[in-house]
Amino acid sequence: MSNIVKIENISIGHGFPLVLISGPCVIEDYETTYEIASFLKDLTQKLEIPFIFKASYDKANRTSIRSYRGPGTEAGLEILYRIRTELDVKILSDVHRINEIDAAAKVLDIIQIPAFLCRQTDFILAVAKTGKPVNIKKGQFLAPWDMINVVEKVTSTGNKRILVTDRGTMFGYNNLIADFRGIKIMQDATEYPVIFDATHSVQLPGGSGTRSGGQREFAPILARAAVASGADGIFLEVHKEPDKALCDGPNSLRLDMLHELFSQLKAIKEVL
């Protein structure tokens, strides 16, 4: 039996409804971020799907030095704080440096450890010691069972509010593949809820030279398969105009695709 992770009124894990973690890859400006968050809140309320808003304030792991990173820690966290209070939604964002953890913990409901940092022991311990729920992205280079060691680093601090997120596994150059056996393997091995990141799993890392490519048309297929495979939640990056998005547009979903997809995901979960 997996541990149940509670974030105030949201319970994540076996026997509870599918949770949705969604938002734009990165904060572009307050207005765009607010518009997307408001749309997602209204839609998920209508469909009665537990919702956590996600957006990054500083993407420190971009392919190129010229890639857009976001507004930065101070300005970005201020925008997330406004959205959290104005819309009354839970907020998740990724942290890349130890020196920004304290500031992020004052605003975020869930702190995310990026896939590329999931083996950085001191960084993981510093995040865990905030006491905040932690979402750990499984590195593309790790096997599902390797996440046992990552989770143990978090629990060693006494923090047992952990989510594990799969975002695909490296498959040759500039390509990822989703292995849905990993959902069950990580649930059993770590005993914590597993989220499936359907949009990063269709990313083509570095596939467009100075930026990542993607195949957004396959994200709904993977999302449906992941829910059918027993995922406790789905992670989706979305944008009102993905082709104009400043980050991860090729693998982000359009807002007008979401009502049908969310309805399907909820129905699949309820059948299970």
Mean confidence (pLDDT) of the chain: 94
- Average pLDDT of the residues in 2-10: 93
- pLDDT digit string (tens) for 120-138? 999 999 999 999 999 999 9
Phi, psi of 48 (to 5 degrees): 55, 50
H or E, element range at 176: strand 176-177
As given in the structure block, the two tokens for residue 103 are 């500031």
State if pTM tops 0.85: yes
CA distance 54 to 84: 11
* Nearest Cα to Cα of residue 123 among 109, 110, 133, 136: 136
- pLDDT digit string (tens) for 193-216? 999 999 999 998 875 555 577 789
Q: Is the dihedral of CA 247, 223, 21, 145 positive or negative?
A: negative
CA distance 72 to 90: 20
Angle at 246 between CA 245 and CA 247, to 5 degrees: 95
Q: Could you state, in order of their start, the residue ranges of all structural domains in the chain? A: 5-271
- What CATH number is given for 5-271 in this structure? 3.20.20.70
CA distance 164 to 219: 19
CA distance 93 to 155: 20
* Cα distances (angstroms) measured from residue 63 to each of 45, 79, 153, 207: 36, 25, 28, 10
Judged against a pLDDT cut of 60, whether residue 165 lies above it is answered with yes
Helix (H, G, I), strand (E, B) or coil at 126: helix
- Average pLDDT of the residues in 99-106: 98
pLDDT at res. 128: 98
CA distance 80 to 263: 27
Question: What proportion of the chain, given as a percentage, has pLDDT over 90?
Answer: 85
